Amino acid sequence: MKYLVFLGTVRDSTPPKPPRVGERVAKACVHYLEKTFEDADVELIDPLDYELDRVFKPHFSYHQNKVPEALQTLAEKIEQADAYVMVSPEYNHSMSPALANLLNHFGASLYSYKPSAIVTYSAGQWGGTRAAVNMRTFLSELGCLPVSAMIHVPKAQEVFEESGKFAAHVKDVERWVGYFGRTLNQLCWWGQAAKEQRQAYDPRKLVKDFKRDPSQRNAPNGDSD
């Protein structure tokens, strides 16, 4: 099983302190998956590793042999993955613009028929729950349906060290591990089920991807002026 853990922060300045708390949360997800599932092949996707143009041009807008190398590499990773973990901070009660921007560079056909897990965090007490609500819609539209359980980490900078390990003062580590497991074990189950079903029956035989225009999904009476 191939997992991609998307990190949703590119913030490298303060305040608020510390910056890039998301790295800790994303690494904690990587640790959990690697420790829990023997066959897990987990990769952390850091948006800072992908230089995107200032002018928005998604992967699918390039001529096939003109796609920038980094964009093509990530497209292949997304296509080959079996499940996604989407780690986002809450910025103004919304999901991270850096994460949305990175994900928007790829068409739904690359994410489709695979599950995702919503993981949010904040420096304050709400753990990014308000961002999570909208992420469910966003990820559903991308085709990687979020599993029902979600992870929300309030005061994430106090829960995890920079390495993604639990901070020494955290007493209820077992409860935290159980909490992460509720979502990530669901992700594993759905990921495995979807993988087997994709291999048994190609979903594109039933439902075609939208390759040209979103109007391809219009209701019949939506075609007339």
Q: Which residues bind ligand FMN (CB under 6 A)?
A: 9, 11, 16, 19-22, 89-93, 122-124, 126
Residue closer to ligand FMN (CB basis): 9 or 185: 9
> Strands across the sheet with 116-121, in order?
41-45, 2-7, 83-89, 116-121, 151-153
Closest approach, Cβ 38 to ligand FMN, in A, equals 30
Q: Is the dihedral of CA 10, 83, 145, 68 positive or negative?
A: positive
Closest approach, Cβ 92 to ligand FMN, in A, equals 5
Mapping DSSP onto H, E and C, the string for 101-166 reads: HHHHCCCHHHHCCCCEEEEEECCCCCCCHHHHHHHHHHHHHHCCCECCCCEEECCHHHHECCCCCE
Residue closer to ligand FMN (CB basis): 123 or 177: 123
Closest approach, Cβ 201 to ligand FMN, in A, equals 40
Closest approach, Cβ 2 to ligand FMN, in A, equals 25
Residue closer to ligand FMN (CB basis): 2 or 11: 11
Nearest Cα to Cα of residue 122 among 84, 158, 162: 158
Closest approach, Cβ 151 to ligand FMN, in A, equals 15
Residue closer to ligand FMN (CB basis): 25 or 142: 25
Residue closer to ligand FMN (CB basis): 92 or 199: 92
Give kind and range of the element (H or E) at residue 2: strand 2-7
Residues 208, 22: Cα–Cα separation, whole Å: 36
Residue closer to ligand FMN (CB basis): 58 or 124: 124
CB atoms within 10 A of CB 112: 18
Closest approach, Cβ 180 to ligand FMN, in A, equals 18
Residues 196, 35: Cα–Cα separation, whole Å: 23
Sequence-separated (6 or more) residues with CB below 8 Å from residue 182: 149
